[in-house]
A and B are shown apart, each in its own frame.
Chain A
Amino acid sequence: MMGPQYEYDATWQYARFDFAPVAPSNGTPWYKNPCIQSALAKGAASTALDGIGLLPEGGAVSEAFGLLHGAAGVSNGTKILERAQFGAALISTANAGSDVSGSEGTFSLRGAQALAGAAVIGAGLLKTAPIVGQVISGISVAEDLYGTYKAVAGCHP
């Protein structure tokens, strides 16, 4: 008679200890969870950088500028995009050096330098074949979104 009672009590205690950290009852909203904040910040940064390739000079975004502001708007839009792409190459270089690789590992310094060099070349090549930049950026943005989803989901064990 004593055995089953003891096991029952132990199971109940374990259950209580197991669930306590998983379901916090302090009323903290999900968006204030540091794990989720970190995952969203990384996801937003990588998505923004990868999205740069979606904006080729003279493409859809420049046309949108043109629709809003006339012919001069196309020229201004193109200049803005050129600057954004150049800036993205610089940011990408800096980020590669300081590791924005996500939770699955970090790049070595040599790897980061190689990535930065390739990114600068890639920014220059966007004019050569804008459609390649659009497609690869689209794929990368999808990867970033999915990676962010998985990282946020991983914050809830």
Chain B
Amino acid sequence: MSSLDKLITAEDRKMRLPWWGVLCVILGALAVLIFFDHFGQLALARPTMISAAMVLIAIAMRWRLKRHVWFWITMIVLTALDVPLILFVPWTTKWIPALAIIPIGIADLCLMLWVLSVVGKFMGEPKTAESRPRSL
């Protein structure tokens, strides 16, 4: 079993959005784009949405840890670390294919799941990645 398989379990791989979930993502993204464009910060819209989406997916994949305070503290810290990344990196508004962004998103997700796994071990949660996560 590779380290990627340990981080993203078989149950995680089965998670999918229903058609109405995809529609909500598209409509929500349109609203965010209009909001950022209104303030002249359209370049920040994409990294903001992708960072927020990866945080939400990580929370959904490890939803069974929701009763642990350390889980929420870790997620808040990881989210806070994304903020300077969004603000200080010069992002582009050029078209970039979604397939090229997916590896970056998965790397971000894997990093968060790995941090959760490590923190979980320290907090006495040895099977962070192995138990059954909740599907969307």
Contacts and interface: CB of A to CB of B under 8 A. Distances in A.
A95 B96 CA distance: 11
A80 to B, nearest CB: 17
Given A104-B94, A127-B13, A134-B22, A139 B100 contact: no
Nearest to A116: B100
A52 B29 CA distance: 17
Given A115-B100, A129-B109, A132-B105, A59 B16 contact: yes
Contacts of A123: 99
A92 B4 contact: no
Interface string A42-61: 00001001101110100110
Interface residues of A, number: 52
B8 A128 contact: yes
A126 interface: yes
A115 B46 contact: no
Interface string B15-59: 111110110011111100110010000000110011001100100
Interface in A93-135: 95-96, 100-102, 104-105, 107, 115-116, 118-123, 125-135
Given A125-B106, A138-B22, A146-B37, 7 more contacts: A52-B99, A122-B97, A122-B98, A134-B16, A136-B105, A138-B29, A140-B97
Interface of A: 46, 49-50, 52-54, 56, 59-60, 88-89, 92, 95-96, 100-102, 104-105, 107, 115-116, 118-123, 125-147, 150
11 contacts: A50-B98, A53-B99, A88-B99, A102-B95, A118-B103, A129-B8, A130-B15, A135-B105, A138-B17, A142-B28, A145-B26
Interface of B: 4, 8, 12-13, 15-19, 21-22, 25-30, 33-34, 37, 45-46, 49-50, 53-54, 57, 92-106, 109, 136
